[in-house]
Structures are given as structure tokens and as C-alpha cells.
Amino acid sequence: MKTCTKAIIAVAGYGTRRLPISKAVEKCMVPLLNRPIVDYVVEDCVKAGVKDIYFVVSGDARQLRNYYERDMELEAYLERKGKNDLLSQITPPAGVTFHYITQDLSDGRYGTTIPVWLCRDYVEPDENILVIMGDQTLYRLDGGSEMADLIKLVEDTNSDAGLVGNPIPWEQIGNFGIVEKDDRGFYKRIVEHPRDGEVNTNLNNSSIYLFPGTFFDLLDKQVDEKRTSQGEYLIIDSVNDLVNQGGKVCVREATGEYLECGSLGNWVKSNKWLFEKTQIK
């Protein structure tokens, strides 16, 4: 059984959909209630047993780094004041190491493949690794972990890889890229903006994956061949390569609520939903 104690969280980019605020606030640090959106992703990874998190960043990512570094002066102040509840909220998770990999946005290579490919030297062939985009999360009111459940499904089905699909209303599937399964229930392909009857699920690809270390060979090939879709290197193209080579990719239906901060409208909706459901203030 392959271990999975590593995760790649892609957070590079200009966040143009959230300008002008994203000029001053890193897109993964946009708040979801009183925490940055990326912290919910990190929390889920930690629940799943992840010990090494690789942030793929652009620029110096100073806000992100500050958030996960110790602030001894602030910690001492909170200790003196007896505010232990706040102290626990600002302390980085124990036993977790954060790594920062810089993506050069000026080199002309864009798309979901590139940040993952940049981490190729940090994953061994006999390891599995989680891959998540850092401006979205699946929030579980039951306290569970989508990442842990994905890891378990990959193990239970003896799959080579896995992905999470977010269920959406059937009448809205024409607006999304929808996962189609084969007759065994495994991933077959993504159908963009499907028509009625064209797909057999209502699962939108949530860009949450578990890959084997050997998957990076496919990413190398994709980048070497400069194989893009509309100018972008898309990781789903390498997932399709894996399937075409006979690999099994299981599909887990998300149970958490899909929350994201990439657009203003969805950010407002996500904050409203989370506040109403949790009353976190």
C-alpha cells in the first residue's frame, strides 16, 4: 500500500477575477469568515494525515508564509492575557512542514499542470500525493475530511488515482465540466457543457486529486510535448493519458459543501452559507 503524507496546494496566480483587492491580498488569503480560504484546505489535509504541504506560489507569498509561521511575540501576549482559545487558532499545526515552490508566471506556461509538475522532485515513485487548488474547499459540517475519504476510496478500490466530484443540480450541468464514468464506475472523461443525456453523473470536477508518484512521468511528457488546450497545460489531459494506458481512476462524490473565493459572487455566497451553518463569529 502506498503512503500518502504529502499534498500540493496550488496558490500561484494574479487572482484577476478578484481585482482590485487581489493586488494587495494574495488570492488564497481572501477570508472565508475569519480565516483565509487556504486554511480550510490545509485543515482537511492535516485531518487526512498529511505531514508535508507544498505550496506552489508566485512572488514571495509573504502573507501566506506569515500565516503559517510562529509569531512568538503575539503568542506570548496571548499567554499573558490567558487567551488560550485564540492561541490555539494562531499556532501552526503540529508535525506539519510547509514548503514553498515558486512558479514563474512570466515564462508563458499556464494551466493546472504546471504547479503540480514543478513539485516533481519532491515525490517518490512509491508515494501517493494529494493535489488541490487553494482558493476553494469542501466544508464538512460533520467534521470529516474529504481528503481522507478520497485516500480510503483509492485504497479500497485498488485504483491508481482518484478525484473528487461535486454534485450539482442536473438542470445546471450544461454550465460545467462534468465527470463521466465508465461501466465499472471509474473515471472515463470530462465532458464540457454537456447536453441532456450526454453524461451519466452530475459531478463537477472539483480539482481535488490523489496521484501516484509515477503520474509525474505523464506530466513530464505533457510539458515536453508542449501539449496544451487553448494555450493552457491542463492536468486533466494527463489524467486522460493515465486512463488510456489502462489506469484506474476512482471518483468520489463530495459530501462537503463546495465553497470558493475566486469570484466575488461566490465569495459572498460562501461566507453567507458558512456563517449561517456554523455561526462562527
Angle between helices 146-156 and 37-47 (to 10 degrees): 40
Secondary structure class of 73 (helix, strand, coil): helix
**pLDDT for 281:** 55
Low-confidence ranges of the chain (pLDDT < 50): none
**pLDDT for 197:** 86
C-alpha 148: how far from its chain's center?
13
Secondary structure class of 101 (helix, strand, coil): strand
Domain ranges of the chain: 3-155+207-227+258-278
The third-level CATH classification (topology) of the domain covering 3-155+207-227+258-278 is Spore Coat Polysaccharide Biosynthesis Protein SpsA; Chain A (3.90.550)
Q: Are 231 and 224 in contact (CB under 8 A)?
A: no
Separation between Cα atoms, residue 150 and residue 7, nearest integer Å: 13
List pLDDT tens digits, range 104-138.
999 989 999 999 999 999 999 999 999 999 889 99
